[in-house]
Amino acid sequence: MPKSTTSKGGKSPTATDAEMAKKAADVAATRDAAKRITGASVVIFDTTLRDGEQCPGATMTFEEKLEVADFLEEMGVDIIEAGFPIASDGDFEAVTAIAKRLKKSVVCGLSRAGMKDIDRAGEAVKHAARPRIHTFISTSSIHIKHKLMKTEDEVLGMIADQCARARNWCDDVEWSAEDATRTDIEYLIRCVDTAIKAGATTINLPDTVGYTTPEEYEHMFRTIREQVANSDKAVFSVHCHNDLGMAVANSLAGLRGGARQIECTINGIGERAGNAALEEVVMAIKTRPDVLPYVTGIKHEMLNRASKLVSAATSFPVQYNKAIVGRNAFAHESGIHQDGMIKNATTYEIMTPESVGVSKTSLVMGKHSGRNAFRAKLKDMGYELGDNQLEDAFTRFKALADRKKHVYDEDIEALVDENIANAHDRTKVVALTVIAGTMGPQSATLTLDTDGTHTTTQSIGNGPVDAIFNAIHKLVPHEAKLDLYQVHAVTEGTDAQAEVSVRLTDPVEGKSVTAKAADPDTLVASAKAYIMALNKLQSKRGRLHSQAVG
Ligand code: KIV
Ligand code: ZN
């Protein structure tokens, strides 16, 4: 909404009535012009909870999924792909719960072409105020031959059946041609024609393997829209993977070819190199209306918070130089740039940090900082916590400030991310004592709290970390495999907090989860990260606590 220039007395002190009326007319004309451009509106379809969550280690708990879904709705996402209901009971439950709670966004469930798949998706989304079923099948000859082992005609029959079945559940049906960009165009035309005739209302043509280029993708959409007789009956959608680093460029090119829905994820998380990043797509459209004459309904001031929330929920770090939401996205290091910025920010800034929710004001925090200053600091950093979360974070901040001379933004970020990530954990580290050094064997004495019950054990190991992980194994027997153990310093200095990442894989389901924890003591951070990862696996399988021993 345009900011008002009217002062308290009802009149601007500088502008005349005529000037103000002209300004209002100009704003209205610009808005109308944007609407008049045929279909300038672009539908934002977020698949963080489905394609994003599919990437190794990015698993979210049920509660985290609900929190992310609520946030996406508030941010103005048009369609939220909440999961793949047939994939697991957990996915089904999450899609069902999200369908029940969201009021504005369309809630979508993914399904393959099988009738059971579609019915499971239908069962999950049927509670939604605005349900959608997204059903897909491969159309490239590589996939048809090697994956589906069918003929092209058989696949055409399946397309008709899957769309018709999905339409029995709801009027909003999206059909996707998996590996569309490597599909013979004549065959793709027949597939799209069949899907629309059978009731699909959105046609998604994904670049499943991240292979296409902007020109090629634009051309594909233009050709399909021109050649398919009933193409005006459906909205066309882009869905790009980032294997060659072109997911966002390709998505925007698809719009030029006539697509009006973009499928994307927060922070670009997703299979392999990820999906097109929502924040990049949205800000490209906002920043370059001269070459991208489209509009989205996203409240872009919430993008930074969305990034932080998803990073905390998945424990996937955001690369420092990530466009829009990276820590360095608005940092100016070189003298020449800093000089230009001081003279006029537009010299090196194409969008303001505030436009994506990053505030420049920096409050210095220390052990004398109070609750209000801490809350203001968090707000500046893009976090908005509930009262309980704020209280927990504040207690931990005070404890940290007692141990560490300077508490940097990065320290607070690590602390709050951990708080968000472990808010629902049932098992937590209570105490840890480690004996390490040259006179092995190294040993760890560990106390855990599980639902209010304390258990303690002692273990030895080949080094202190091994001793700690052995102690965890004794208290919480599990078969999960440790895939990754990584330590890095959150800030500079020998008193810096260590941030430990742990990735565990469930050997039965093959799912992996990542968890991050920070502490000035590397060994405490290691124990916390491992336990957080186990909690995540547990909430996937509901097994950890039933196996815990005293
Ligand atoms: O990348 C892809 O093709 C997909 C489909 C399931 C839409 O994610
Ligand atoms: Zn995908």
pLDDT tens figures, 394-424 = 998 998 888 877 788 878 888 888 887 787 8
Same domain for 431 and 412: no
Average pLDDT in the 209-226 region? 98
Give the tokens for residue 128: 């939604």
With CA atoms as reference, report the closest residue to 179 among 214, 236, 137.
137
Range of the domain at 397: 365-420
Average pLDDT in the 191-213 region? 98
> Is 17 a member of any domain?
no
206 Cα: distance to centroid of ligand 1 (angstroms): 6
Same domain for 91 and 234: yes
Same domain for 340 and 193: no
Same domain for 181 and 303: yes
pLDDT at 543: 36
> Is 380 a member of any domain?
yes
> Is 138 a member of any domain?
yes
210 Cα: distance to centroid of ligand 2 (angstroms): 9
**Separation of CA 263 from chain center:** 12
* Beta-bridge partners for 455: 448
> Is 530 a member of any domain?
yes
Same domain for 251 and 181: yes
Average pLDDT in the 79-102 region? 97
Q: Indicate yes or no: pTM above 0.75.
A: yes
Q: What is the DSSP letter of 49?
A: I
Q: Domain of 266: which CATH number?
A: 3.20.20.70
Residue with tokens 């609900």: 66
* Beta-bridge partners for 460: 443
Pocket flag, ligand 1, residue 212 (CB < 6 Å): no
Helix (H, G, I), strand (E, B) or coil at 533: helix
Q: Please tell me which residue, 115 or 339, carries the higher pLDDT value.
A: 115
Q: Please tell me which residue, 372 or 285, carries the higher pLDDT value.
A: 285
Residue 23 pLDDT > 90, yes or no? Answer: no
Pocket flag, ligand 1, residue 178 (CB < 6 Å): yes
Same domain for 370 and 351: no
Residue 150 pLDDT > 60, yes or no? Answer: yes
Residue 7 pLDDT > 70, yes or no? Answer: no
Same domain for 339 and 309: no
Q: How confident is the model at residue 287 (pLDDT cuts 50, 70, 90)?
A: very high
Pocket flag, ligand 1, residue 239 (CB < 6 Å): yes
148 to each of 145, 152, 177, how far by Cα in Å?
6, 10, 13
Q: What is the DSSP letter of 233?
A: G
Q: How confident is the model at residue 540 (pLDDT cuts 50, 70, 90)?
A: low
Same domain for 160 and 76: yes
> Is 474 a member of any domain?
yes
CB count in 10 Å sphere of residue 215: 12
> Is 9 a member of any domain?
no
Same domain for 101 and 41: yes
Pocket flag, ligand 1, residue 274 (CB < 6 Å): no
pLDDT at 338: 65
As a whole-number percent, the residues of the chain with pLDDT over 70 amount to 89
**Nearest residue CA, atom 5 of ligand 1?**
178
- How far is residue 150's CA from residue 144's CA, in Å, rounded to a whole number? 6
pLDDT at 346: 82
450 Cα: distance to centroid of ligand 1 (angstroms): 39
Bridge-based pairing state of the strands 512-519 and 498-505:
antiparallel
451-505 confidence digits (pLDDT tens): 999 999 999 999 999 999 999 999 999 999 998 898 988 877 788 889 898 989 8
pLDDT at 328: 84
Q: How confident is the model at residue 16 (pLDDT cuts 50, 70, 90)?
A: low
| Count of H-run helices and E-run strands, the chain | 18, 14
51 Cα: distance to centroid of ligand 2 (angstroms): 6
The ligand 1 atom at the shortest distance from the C-alpha of residue 176 is 7
- How far is residue 328's CA from residue 340's CA, in Å, rounded to a whole number? 17
**Per the omega criterion (within 30 degrees of 0), is the bond before 441 cis?**
yes
> Is 66 a member of any domain?
yes
243-269 confidence digits (pLDDT tens): 999 999 999 999 999 999 999 999 999
Same domain for 140 and 209: yes
- Total domains in the chain come to 4
HSE-CB at 307 with a 13 A cutoff on CA atoms is 28
Q: How confident is the model at residue 2 (pLDDT cuts 50, 70, 90)?
A: very low
> Is 331 a member of any domain?
yes
The answer to whether 88 and 54 have CB atoms below 8 angstroms apart is no
Residue 34 pLDDT > 50, yes or no? Answer: no
Same domain for 532 and 449: yes
Same domain for 384 and 495: no
Average pLDDT in the 61-85 region? 96
